[in-house]
A and B are shown apart, each in its own frame.
Chain A
Amino acid sequence: MVTATGGLDTALRAHSTDHAWQVAATVTDPEIPVLTIEDLGVLRTVEVADDGAVHVELTPTYSGCPAMDAMRDDVVLALTHAGYDEVRVDLVLAPAWTTDWMTDAGKQKLRRYGIQAPTGLAAARGAGPVRVQLAVKCPRCDSLDTREIARFGSTSCKALYECRACLEPFDYFKVI
């Protein structure tokens, strides 16, 4: 049986869990500052316990991504500033992060920032070692006449491309 008091507690907790999520979701990627950790799909869960302690789970984009430490510290800071005294952030590996979790809003922001968003789903990457790379659209002029210069760009998550129409180089956020 749910008592009236218990129901109220649950409602308040849900409210502050919502609020805590919104606070945590303001944290951005230090290397791509237009994207929040929510846009990236890095923010997985936020829970507020009865005693007000917040438990956040983040999942790393890449295993060696040096931005993870900064994102985790920023989540602690943001929630502390919002009045949550006890904040614990865990990094979880499973299920493994995929670019499929990037939000549509995030993809749009990425393109406006000059980085082409992941094109296609992770499952469509194919299995064999020798395979064909789909054409990647230039985020500046939308031309498909582009060329990959390096599979690994400025960070593990990006490849470096050049556009043969507008002659500008651009980063492509790889599907993973």
Chain B
Amino acid sequence: MSGADLDPHGEVSVDRLALAEELAGAGAGEGAVASEDAAEYALRLGDDALVLAQQLGMWITRAPELEEDIALGNIGLDLIGHARSLLHYAGSATGRSEDELAYWRDEPEWRNAWLFEQPNGDFACTIARQLVASLYLFELYSALADSTDPTLAAIAAKSVKEVDYHRDHSTQWVLRLAGGTEESRRRMIRGVEVTWPYVDELFADDELTERLAADGVAVLPSTLRPAFESAVDEVFAEAALERPTGRTAYTASGGGRRGSHTEHLGPLLAEMQVLARQHPGASW
């Protein structure tokens, strides 16, 4: 289109403010502003989505087939959409934009769980991570759609429909790799083994989630685990795989929710943030 003198990047923020205002109901005036706790919670979920989207983008031109480049790219795009809504809401508490949060925070300020920053590995590792991520996010957003916070509820109700297709995608690949050749099955089993130590952290409760869950704002992570595990078991039964037990990377004193990260997040952020930091305020 031509003739529009709108700054396409600036427009987005204005628009998202309007979105927040809409969700807050008529007459709210200044848009929905997250409480400090809700903002921290939205930051966790937004960071999970954004880091995973960045990882999936790396597969474009490198997947085993062209269709898969496109599939992983499109799943990443859905996740960027979720991240934008969540980070916009998180920033409303402190007056920071979604871009400021995405591009100008350093590693210790990121709140994503370790699962999402684990390297892509081979295709089977990525699929194992996708299976865990999509089954977890499906249960999370299904429950969060009933949040007493109308903004979080709306984002969750929208996102869960898309994550449902991500769940289809990862499930189909697990079945295909596990039931394919000896080599594909060996790699699928290994992918599950390297991914599983990062599962516990997703379902760990802490003071923040306990406070928010008491008000019906957040979902207590531990309550999602039974549904997650029965979904995993359903897929693994079909794929003749076993759910690993025992090994965990998570310790109660650390983890991504407190800003302590594995060595993989730094390089990922450097690549994602370099352009915005070299050209502050640029739009394209």
Partners in one complex: yes
Binding site for B on A (CB under 8 A): 57, 60, 62-66, 69-70, 72-74, 76-77, 88-98, 122, 125, 128-131, 149-156, 160, 174, 176
The answer to whether A72 touches B70 (Cβ under 8 A) is no
The answer to whether B157 and A128 touch across the interface, beta carbons within 8 angstroms, is: no
CA A90 to CA B79, docked complex, whole Å: 21
CA of A156 to CA of B158, assembled, Å? 14
Cβ of B8 under 8 Å from chain A? yes
By Cβ-Cβ distance, the 9 closest A-B pairs, closest first, are A63-B81, A64-B81, A150-B67, A152-B71, A64-B77, A94-B154, A93-B154, A96-B158, A90-B18
| Additional A-B contact list (19), CB under 8 Å, known A73-B6, A95-B157, A152-B165 | A57-B22, A62-B81, A64-B79, A64-B80, A74-B1, A77-B3, A90-B18, A92-B22, A93-B23, A93-B154, A93-B157, A94-B157, A129-B234, A150-B70, A151-B71, A151-B168, A152-B74, A154-B70, A160-B67
- Cα distance A28–B23 when bound, in Å? 26
Which residue from A57, A74, A98, A156 sits with its C-beta under 8 Å from B74?
A156
Question: Are A63 and B22 CB-contacts (below 8 A) given A73-B1, A150-B71, A151-B172?
Answer: no
**List of B residues within 8 angstroms of A96 by Cβ:** 154, 157-158, 161
B40-60 at interface with A (beta carbon < 8 Å): none
Q: How large is the interface on B (under 10, 10 to 19, 20 to 34, 35 or more residues)?
A: 35 or more
Contact with A along B150-188 (1 / 0, CB 8 A): 100111011101101101110110010000000000000
Q: How far is the CA of A91 from the CA of B13 in the complex (A)?
A: 12
Binary contact track B205-248/A, C-beta < 8 Å → 1, others 0: 00000000000000000000000000100110010000000000
CB neighbours (8 Å) of B231 from chain A are 128-129
**In the complex where A72-B15, A92-B22, A129-B171 touch, is A176 in contact with B161 (Cβ < 8 A)?**
yes
Could you tell me if B23 and A94 are in contact, using CB atoms closer than 8 angstroms? yes
CA distance A150 to B66 in the complex (A): 10
Query: Looking at the complex, which one of A62, A91, A149, A156 makes contact with B19 (CB distance below 8 Å)?
Result: A91
**A141–B159 CA distance with the chains assembled, in angstroms:** 35
Q: Who on chain A is nearest to B3 by CB? A: A77
| CB-defined contacts of B270 to chain A, threshold 8 Å | none
Q: Is the interface of B mostly helix, strand, loop or mixed?
A: helix
Q: Give the nearest-CB partner of A160 in chain B.
A: B67
The reply to whether A63 and B70 form a contact with Cβ atoms under 8 Å apart is: no
Residues of B within 8 A of A76 (CB): 4
Instruction: For B70, give the chain A residue with the smallest CB separation.
Output: A152
A63 engages B159 (CB within 8 Å): yes
Best-buried of A64, A88, A96 by chain B (most CB within 10 Å) = A64
CB of B158 within 8 A of CB of A93, answer: yes
Residues of B within 8 A of A90 (CB): 15, 18-19, 21-22
Interface string of B117-153 (1 = CB under 8 A from A): 0000000000000000001000000000000001001
Bound complex: CA A70 to CA B71 (Å): 23
- Contact among B16, B71, B78 for A64, CB-based, below 8 A: B78
Flag whether B68 is at the interface (Cβ < 8 A).
Answer: yes
B71: chain A residues at CB < 8 Å are 150-152
Q: Is B82 close to A, CB under 8 A?
A: yes
Check B75 for interface membership: any CB of A closer than 8 A.
yes
Residue of B nearest to A97 (CB): B158
Contact of B78 among A62, A72, A95, A160 (CB under 8 A): A62
